[in-house]
Structure 1
Amino acid sequence: MAGLLAISAGQAFGDDEQVWAALKRGGMVVLLRHTHVDMREGIAHLAPGNCAEEVNLSARGVEQAKRIGEAFRAHGIAVGEVWTSAYCRCIDTGKLAFGRATPVQYLMPPGVISEPQAKLNQERVLQDILDHRSSSNLVMITHDLNISNIVLEPSIAMGDFFVLQPNGTDFDVIGKIRMGDR
């Protein structure tokens, strides 16, 4: 899909306060990686829906999610819809940070679905970003690869997020907020 903004590894983003100011104006899309989990062997490809068998938020991840919500409130940021992957770690991040979460299938990580489906999902995410015309901020909570494929950043830490501004046929990356290592 045309309009992907290539980001070089050394590109400087706006400072945190500029990013928060953009969010305060509204109309942005937040691509948030779920907060911290303790990865376990042998369960990477489980289907979502059974939280007891999934990789879930660690105690650190629970605190990170709460801090993200506190940061949004402290900056006076209004949040509209909160869409998440169907994995419990994404749903829980949304509920802890923003008090709600709506799972959508196309935010699933590419590694657990077929390659053609992953491509369709990425196109759907891009289209939703481009179609976002609300004055409220849309939050999408998903996985590292999904975010990396959209913003062309090699990796994003758990709990970090990018802020995107749709502009009709493309989007601008306003910046990245690092919450994961705080």
Structure 2
Amino acid sequence: MLDRRQWLQWAAGGAATVSASWAAAQTPPSELAELWRRSRGVVMLRHASTEPGVGDPPGFTLGQCSTQRNLSAQGRAQSQAMGRWMVQQQLRPDAVLSSQWCRCRDTAQLAFGRAEDWPALNSTFAGQGEAAAQEEAMRTRLRQMPDSRMEVWVTHQVNMTALTGAYPDLGEAFLLDRQGRLLARGRIAA
């Protein structure tokens, strides 16, 4: 029997995704920083830890944080630690893009002090949004990104899994190449 994580992976990308996602080892933070410096491109970040639950409560409304599943105290602390790590590593992304969900925007604001909404990063969980169009928008931006550019995309598990076939934990970062392939994964925190 599949647990919730395995089921979500299977539903997002098939049975091969389940085994492939566990094959990718965590990259130590210092190595992740060095890889990003060399490769540039995108660090795709799943929002930090949230209040308990899956998805959003009934009555969810985009733009109204009180109707959403939000960051927990632990998630706010994780986000701040991510920001300290970026400063310590002297990494300065050219852009920080975020899903319009409050838990993503708050992660970005607490970690990087800024966030630009990008609807392509919005959740497609449980049939929300337009999964195929959003994935294509992300892939197009990756392919068109100048080699020298560094961006952070704060988003949801479903989007990260759609691009890479791997399942991220809360607050986990994926370093992507220009085709959306997973180069490295790990935690960014001080």
TM over 0.5: yes
Corresponding residue to 1:111 among 106, 125, 130: 125
Q: Would you tell me which structure has more helix in proportion to its own residues?
A: 2
Corresponding residue to 1:136 among 129, 138, 149: 149
Corresponding residue to 1:23 among 28, 32, 36: 36
| 72-81 or 23-32, larger mean C-alpha shift | 23-32
Residue 97 (structure 2) pairs with residue 83 (structure 1): yes
One-letter identity of the residue aligned with 2:35: A
Residue 186 (structure 2) pairs with residue 177 (structure 1): yes
| Cα distance change of structure 1 residues 101 and 44 upon mapping to structure 2, 3 Å threshold | farther
| Cα distance change of structure 1 residues 43 and 58 upon mapping to structure 2, 3 Å threshold | same
What is the distance in 2 between the residues matched to 1:44 and 1:31? 28
Alignment of 1:159-178 (within 5 A): 159-166=171-178, 170-178=179-187
One-letter identity of the residue aligned with 2:110: L
Shift of 1:79: 1.0
Corresponding residue to 2:170 among 121, 143, 158: 158
What is the distance in 2 between the residues matched to 1:173 and 1:113? 25
* Contact 1:78/1:136, CA 8 A, preserved across alignment: no
One-letter identity of the residue aligned with 1:133: P
| 52-61 or 39-48, larger mean C-alpha shift | 39-48
Which SS does the other structure have where 1:52 is aligned?
helix
Q: Please, what is the CA RMSD of the aligned residues?
A: 2.5
Which SS does the other structure have where 1:135 is aligned?
coil
Corresponding residue to 1:102 among 98, 102, 116: 116
Question: How many residues are matched?
Answer: 171
Which SS does the other structure have where 2:67 is aligned?
coil
* Contact 1:35/1:158, CA 8 A, preserved across alignment: yes
* Contact 1:55/1:89, CA 8 A, preserved across alignment: yes
What is the distance in 2 between the residues matched to 1:59 and 1:15? 25
* Contact 1:151/1:173, CA 8 A, preserved across alignment: yes
Which residue matches 1:126?
A: 139
Shift of 1:16: 3.6
Q: Percent identity?
A: 24
What is the distance in 1 between the residues matched to 2:77 and 2:27? 26
One-letter identity of the residue aligned with 1:125: M
* Contact 1:45/1:111, CA 8 A, preserved across alignment: no
Which residue matches 1:3?
A: none
Which SS does the other structure have where 1:79 is aligned?
coil
| Cα distance change of structure 1 residues 57 and 12 upon mapping to structure 2, 3 Å threshold | closer
Runs (4+) of structure 1 exceeding 6 A deviation are: none
One-letter identity of the residue aligned with 1:146: N
Which SS does the other structure have where 2:170 is aligned?
coil
